[in-house]
Amino acid sequence: MKILRTVNDLRQFVASLKADGHSVGLVPTMGALHAGHLSLVAQANSRGDKVVASLFVNPTQFNNSDDLATYPRKEDDDFRMLQEAGVSAVFAPAIEEIYPEGVGKASENCHFDLGPVAEVMEGRFRPGHFQGVALIVSKLLRFVEPCRAYFGEKDFQQIAVIRRMCETEKIPVEIVSCPIKRAESGLALSSRNSLLSPDQLEVAPEIHRALQSSVERSMQGASVAEIVADVTARLDSFDDLRVEYFEIVDGITLQPVADWDQTPYIVGCITVYCGSVRLIDNITYRRPDSHNC
């Protein structure tokens, strides 16, 4: 596995892969890897792609400086895991390599037309977050020019935003969404889970349990409004949990739905603070037959 630190080295390596007739799959990450990230690599390998992964904690997508400072960084462990997973190269640049003009200037010049999918939920609670996501992903896609890029469905809204960005920026890539990976407890795997205390790791799985129960309640006739209220009240009853938002939305437009018959694709998206750690999750209530992975 090659470890690449510069854009020039990355482009040269990818060019050599393509010259040998290989398709390239990109797996963008911010490091602190877990089985969820490795499942994306496995998907890319299963499709015959040579995998290029990125490790870069992107400062332009953090609207909270404390969150950026405490985001876990485990580069040596990440390299080992990626090599064992069969990655061809990992791109692990310095901030100056990605933003030679400076992070502040890059953020100021960041104006993507992301549409309504970026204005709700995370877009409302984390101003500027998706502009930063679009900025780094667009750069990585242009550096690598992969056939496919792989993202986990835990970041459900992010995938919709990236698809919108690729459409408006005319970036020719297939965005592949892959299922959430969970711990045995049901907790969605996340790099931020490493910041949870033992007691918090005990209570955090209640997020998924509440979502699972809400699917059963929806099948028993509970309304959308009742489900939102029930899930929020259930989770807020735990001392270490505080719901920031829980919205039931159209799975394509991400706009809120009022009843179950409004659209064939319905997803519940939630963000919960467990202590000071911000966790996201989602669950599907209605889904069309087709699915990426």
**Residues designated catalytic:** 37
Closest among 281, 291, 282, 285 to 261, alpha carbons compared = 285
Which DSSP symbol is given to 190? Answer: -
d(CA 247, CA 269): 5
The greatest distance separating any two alpha carbons of the chain, rounded to the nearest whole angstrom, comes to 58
What is the dihedral sign for C-alpha 222, 226, 232, 233? negative
The pair of structure tokens assigned to 275 is 């202590």
The span from the first CA to the last CA of the chain, in angstroms, equals 25
Closest among 53, 42, 49, 55 to 18, alpha carbons compared = 49
d(CA 280, CA 26): 23
What is the dihedral sign for C-alpha 121, 122, 126, 129? negative
